[in-house]
Structure 1
Amino acid sequence: MNGTSVDVAEVATTPSSSRRVRRMSIAALGVLALALGTLQSVVEPALPLLQRELGVSPAQGALISNVLLFAGAVFTPVAGRLGDRFGGKRVLLAVAVVVSAGGLLAGTASDLPVLLVGQVLQGVMVGALPLSFILVRKNLPAGESQAAIGVVLALFTGGGMVGTLVAGPIAENLAWNWIFLLPTIVIMAATAAVTRLMPHDPPLQPEPGRRSSIRQDLRRLATPQMRNAYLLTFFIMASSGMMIFLLPQLLAVSGSGYGFGAGTTTIGLLLLPGVIAGAVSDSVGGVAAARFGPRAVVVVGTVVTVISLLALAFVHSSSWQLVLAKVLTAFAAGAGTTALLAATATTVETRDTGMATSLLVVTRVVGVALGAMLAGIVLALGTDPSTDDPTHTSFVVGFVVSALVAAAALFFTRIPTNGNLS
């Protein structure tokens, strides 16, 4: 098979012991994905605690998660091209080394600047996903590789659930530094297993007569239809990013007549249903797009998001109201952006599928990061100087602004219901 190191027929005739080794290597890859997802998600429930421990404002606290997202956004579209050129295993191991260094640095940080540098290094972990997919496709037959890719992606998402759950108990019973150190130790062990078990893969050979550069790829994708897809994804995820930042802050604050004074463990448990809803929505979004069209999925999801956020702005006296709003908005955002991703993957030219979908992944990351930053600014501007806590009004404004950001997506929903982006 042109461009792959292991042909399907070759895999089929490989001795059973060799096939077991390959499956063990994919299992090690899955453990690595789980640990990476855990490390990525531990900051969200622990953010109020980190702000207190480091003595930083909400706006500065937003940087802790944002720099990781921005680093991932910069590196992700490059990771796939590097994997094709130099081999997926070689680049993945380099990524794991950088992420491990970032985790160790963040875990030993004593101030915000050092922690931010650690987060930047950890941010390249997002690039591990396309590299993992390269390795899965090269080492398993087509039928098995499709299932394995789903498992790796599910484990990365599952790691987000694990991180949300364990961040509180670890921070409260050990120290906040260990929320970074423990996942990093698992990443290092899983990397060693991948190094030992995963077969080496040569780079893919370019198609005969084809000369392609990132600039040429981007030029082909600069169509009005694709720009709509990117703008839709951006506004949906920017609104989601604001929610991701605002909810832990409101749960943690204990103001006069508002807030809940929740600890890190409680915050993680309250956020968990939303994390699960977001994970489930990834599979639902693709199915719904095929049945109803991406436009219908995006419009319904956006309307649900706007209504939920406006309701939350004026009714948030009980924690279940925050949990319900988180579940609804996380599910809507996940389904909408996945529908756009699925539509894009099936309508662009085959040679552009990787670049087009990676750019949508980057847009998701950037949207979340900028949304969280905007929410941090809103809370910072509304901080009560006598208590250094965000005021009740600042949370109301934050939820309303988040609703308006989501509503802006409705201006770019000119996507035919048959899934064609043209």
Structure 2
Amino acid sequence: MSDHPPGSSSGAPVEDVPRRITTQEAARLLGVKPATVYAYVSRGQLDSRRDAVGRGSTFDAAEVEALARRSRREAAGPAAPEPAVRTALTLIEPGADRYWFRGVDAVELASRYSYEEVAEWLWTGTLVRGARFTAPPEPLAAARRAVAALPEHSGPLDLLRVAVAAAAVADPLRFDLSGAAVLGSARCLVPTLVGALPEVSPQDPGDGRLARRLWSRLTAQEPEPAAVDALDLALGLLVDHDLAASTLAVRVAASARAHPYAAVSAGLGALEGPLHGAAGRLAHRMLAEVLERGGAAPVVAEYLRAGRRVPGFGHRLYQGEDPRSRALSGRLEGLPRAGAALGAAREVAGVMARHGLHPNVDLALAALTLSCGMAAEAGETVFAVARTAGWIAHALEEYQEPPLRMRPSGQYTGPRPPRPVP
């Protein structure tokens, strides 16, 4: 701790112990109100820790100072242009709180058409009405065998990564990177991922939509058409979102000319991070706790007291509410079974509004999974399956670019050579 005196039992020099400061001191360094400091915590830009006597949060002074320097640089304008990647897929305009797929409003597109139709639009720029994806028998059987061999406690991303690898081995055409071949692999891979997941409750496949088949992998509840439509909407809204961390990983792999299965595997690896794919699981558990405790205030207080982010809030690309959250929550309003979960989400949103944070799609996805009797991990499955189509779209684009262009130069910060060999 920062209050260890010289010569304390820690044995560490004072200068080696990270200095910690209070919320008020952090606010002064950053030039913001104390509430905004907690907003930085919620966005993952700062880490906090309860002090020794539990009367407030403390912050690493060096981390706060670094954030203050970044904020000053951003206010003065970037010193150098940020790296950019050419893409004709998704546009997110600063301040608009909207996003577009190939120039078409993404929320409107996902609200009118099925996930498969949205995926075809993203891949080809052509709307294929009634599009349905079918998994070939051999890759599906290989993926199911591989998934069945995993330990029972395996998480959804474990299952999907193994399914992708097995499906790849069963596809001898995976190394053909022509547009037609990659599209053929994509139309087979997405339903193979869904079909490889264990069924929670065997059900009739209904109209054959991917959302209907995915439903039986996520919940034992009856597939009420309005609920399946809400799941389909979630898939369509999540299909792509510009260069998120997982999408960038996919483009790096595609730049090295990895086949589409390997590129999707790279995306799934990045999705494992708690700041990207796992947020829906955390938001699900938070809403369940709000319902259990009968109110949002004590739950939010516990998160902040422990120095944790409140999941489901804030997005660096939107100043207001995430348009995906607004669309999915609006669809859930017409679903009676979603009433309690939506009420909990609104209550948390009311508390978080005082920090200037608005709901993102993870909160709406949590309301969907909670209200439909799905496990907390279901949000990760929905996100990964949905985003697979977007990853394929980015791989298709990257295959048309010069190879190995995703090769930035490192800024070396270590000691200058020459140094003696240790």
Is the structural similarity TM-score above 0.5?
A: no
TM-score by length of 2: 0.28
The TM-score, its normalising length taken from structure 1, stands at: 0.28
Structure with bigger RCO (C-alpha 8 Å, 6+ apart): 1
Larger radius of gyration between Structure 1 and Structure 2: 2
Q: More helix per residue: 1 or 2? A: 1
